[in-house]
């Protein structure tokens, strides 16, 4: 039994914790940019005055989503990663296991909304700007944590 578990561990991609922060930050940043890209494409054919209003509403939504949702979630993930035992952990632990079903649901919901939704794309752009902007902003928490960690390690290595 023990030898079977050991053989399975070979397939577990173990990395240092800083890579979890980088992975999470890059995923959140990339998805944020992707969603903002969808929204900007949908807003191109809209008249400037209408586009301006939709973008402002999307930015307000992004600030709300960032402050009341994603910034707290990013900080929670950063703390959770810090509490993981061992120096090397599974690469997929950058997100809590309970969050993966929610992520899958959000992916399928996004595909559905882009493909079949009766909501006009310019109005859908508000939600995409909000979620994309919130994700992009919250990704900076991960990058800031990496910089802080590296700065601390450099400072500690200089102390005689």
Tokens linked to 132: 């994309």
pLDDT of residue 2: 60
**Please, what is the Cα angle at 141 between 130 and 135, to 5 degrees?**
20
Residues in Cβ contact with 132 at an 8 Å cutoff, skipping those fewer than 6 apart: 31, 32, 33, 34, 35, 36, 38, 39, 62
Confidence class for position 159, pLDDT limits 50, 70, 90: low
53-67: b (≥16 Cβ within 10 Å) or e: ebbebbeebbeebbe
Task: Give domain limits for the chain.
Answer: 14-153
Q: What is the pLDDT of the chain when averaged over all its residues? A: 86
**Would you give the DSSP letter of residue 66?**
I
% of the chain with per-residue pLDDT over 70: 88
Q: pLDDT tens-digit profile of 4-53?
A: 655 656 666 777 778 888 888 999 999 999 999 999 999 999 999 999 99
Q: Residue 138 burial by CB count (10 A; 0-12/13-18/19+): exposed, middle or buried?
A: buried
Is residue 116 predicted with pLDDT exceeding 70?
yes
Is residue 86 predicted with pLDDT exceeding 90?
no
Q: For residue 146, count other CB atoms closer than 10 A to its CB.
A: 16
Task: Specify the 3-state DSSP secondary structure of 15.
Answer: strand
DSSP letters of 84-128?
A: SSSSEEEGGGGS-GGGHHHHHHHHHHHHHHHHH--S-HHHHHHHH
Task: Specify the 3-state DSSP secondary structure of 81.
Answer: helix
φ/ψ bin of 83: left (φ > 0), alpha (ψ from -120 to 50), beta (otherwise): alpha
| Contact in structure between 133 and 66 (CB atoms under 8 Å) | yes
Mean pLDDT on 83-112: 80
pTM: 0.82
């Amino acid at each position: 039994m023990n030898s079977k578990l050991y053989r399975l561990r070979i397939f577990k991609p173990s990395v240092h914790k800083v890579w979890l922060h980088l992975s999470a930050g890059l995923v959140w940043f990339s998805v944020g940019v992707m969603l903002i890209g969808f929204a900007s494409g949908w807003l191109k054919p809209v008249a400037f005055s209408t586009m301006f209003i939709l973008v402002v509403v999307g930015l307000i939504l992004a600030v709300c989503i960032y402050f009341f949702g994603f910034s707290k979630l990013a900080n929670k993930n950063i703390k959770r990663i810090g509490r993981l035992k061992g120096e090397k952990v599974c690469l997929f632990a950058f997100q809590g296991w309970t969050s993966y079903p929610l992520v899958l649901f959000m992916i399928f919901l996004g595909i559905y909304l882009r493909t079949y939704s009766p909501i006009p794309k310019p109005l859908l752009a508000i939600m995409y700007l909000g979620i994309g902007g919130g994700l992009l902003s919250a990704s900076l928490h991960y990058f800031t944590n990496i910089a802080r960690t590296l700065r601390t390690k450099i400072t500690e290595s200089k102390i005689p």
